[in-house]
Structure 1
Amino acid sequence: MIEVRGLTKTFGPTKAVDDLTFTVKPGIVTGFLGPNGAGKSTTMRMILGLDRPTSGTALIDGQAYHDLKQPLRTVGALLDAKWVHPNRSAKAHLQWMAASNGIPSSRVDEVLRLVGLTEVAGKKAGGFSLGMSQRLGLAGALLGDPKVLLFDEPVNGLDPEGIVWIRKFMQRLAAEGRTVLVSSHLLSEMALTAEHLVVIGRGRLISDTTVKEFVDRSSESTVRVRSPQLDALRSVLTSHGLTVREDGHAASAAAALVVLDSTTDAIGQIAGSNGIVLHELASQQGSLEDAFMKLTGDDVQYHAAGVEEVMGGAL
Structure 2
Amino acid sequence: MIELRGLTKHFGATAAVEDLSFTVQPGHVTGFLGPNGAGKSTTMRMILGLDRPTSGVALVNGKPYAELTNPLRQVGALLDARWVHPNRSARAHLQWMAASNGIPKSRVDEVLRLVGLSEVAGKQAGGFSLGMSQRLGLAGALLGDPQVLLFDEPVNGLDPEGIVWIRKFMQRLAAEGRTVLVSSHLLSEMAQTAEHLVVIGRGRLISDSTVGEFIERSSESTVRVRSPQLDLLRSLLTSRGLTVREDGIGEDGPALSVLGTTSDDVGRLAGENAITLYELAPQRASLEEAFMKLTGGDVQYHGEDFQEVMGGAL
Work out whether the TM-score is over 0.5. yes
- 5 Å matches for 1:103-122? 103-122=103-122
Give the share of equivalent positions with the same residue, in percent. Answer: 81
- 5 Å matches for 1:3-152? 3-152=3-152
Deviation at 1:217, TM superposition (A): 1.4
Instruction: Give the structure 1 partner of residue 261 of structure 2.
Output: 262
Deviation at 1:175, TM superposition (A): 1.1
Instruction: Give the structure 1 partner of residue 290 of structure 2.
Output: 291
Normalising by structure 1, we get a TM-score of 0.96
Deviation at 1:251, TM superposition (A): 3.3
Q: After superposition, give the CA deviation of every residue in 1:21-53 in whole Å (9 maximum; x if it has no partner).
A: 111111111110101100000000001011111
The aligned amino acid for 1:231 is D
Query: Structure 1 CA distance, aligned partners of 2:103 and 2:290?
Result: 43
Deviation at 1:303, TM superposition (A): 1.2
> SS at the partner of 2:122?
coil
Higher mean alpha-carbon deviation, 117-126 vs 302-311, is at 302-311
> SS at the partner of 1:62?
coil
> SS at the partner of 1:88?
coil
Instruction: Give the structure 1 partner of residue 273 of structure 2.
Output: 274
Instruction: Give the structure 1 partner of residue 243 of structure 2.
Output: 243
Is residue 17–residue 203 contact of structure 2 (8 Å, CA) maintained in 1?
A: yes
- Give unpaired runs (5+ residues) of structure 1: none
The aligned amino acid for 2:204 is R
Is residue 8–residue 55 contact of structure 2 (8 Å, CA) maintained in 1?
A: yes
Normalising by structure 2, we get a TM-score of 0.96
The aligned amino acid for 1:282 is A
> SS at the partner of 1:51?
coil
Q: After superposition, give the CA deviation of every residue in 1:36-74 in whole Å (9 maximum; x if it has no partner).
A: 100000000001011111111111111111112211111
The aligned amino acid for 2:77 is A
Q: After superposition, give the CA deviation of every residue in 1:279-308 in whole Å (9 maximum; x if it has no partner).
A: 221111122222111111111111122220
Higher mean alpha-carbon deviation, 102-111 vs 255-264, is at 255-264
Query: Structure 2 CA distance, aligned partners of 1:253 and 1:170?
Result: 40
Query: Structure 2 CA distance, aligned partners of 1:252 and 1:28?
Result: 41
- Give unpaired runs (5+ residues) of structure 2: none
Query: Structure 1 CA distance, aligned partners of 2:276 and 2:68?
Result: 68
Deviation at 1:84, TM superposition (A): 1.1
The aligned amino acid for 2:206 is I
> SS at the partner of 1:283?
strand
Query: Structure 2 CA distance, aligned partners of 1:254 and 1:273?
Result: 24
**Runs of 4+, deviation exceeding 3 Å:** 250-253, 312-315
Instruction: Give the structure 1 partner of residue 198 of structure 2.
Output: 198
Is residue 221–residue 262 contact of structure 2 (8 Å, CA) maintained in 1?
A: no
Is residue 84–residue 125 contact of structure 1 (8 Å, CA) maintained in 2?
A: yes
Query: Structure 2 CA distance, aligned partners of 1:201 and 1:103?
Result: 38
Is residue 308–residue 314 contact of structure 1 (8 Å, CA) maintained in 2?
A: no
Is residue 222–residue 284 contact of structure 1 (8 Å, CA) maintained in 2?
A: yes
> SS at the partner of 2:180?
strand
> SS at the partner of 1:255?
strand
Query: Structure 1 CA distance, aligned partners of 2:281 and 2:213?
Result: 21
Deviation at 1:314, TM superposition (A): 4.1
Query: Structure 2 CA distance, aligned partners of 1:17 and 1:257?
Result: 43
Query: Structure 2 CA distance, aligned partners of 1:62 and 1:270?
Result: 55
Instruction: Give the structure 2 partner of residue 219 of structure 1.
Output: 219
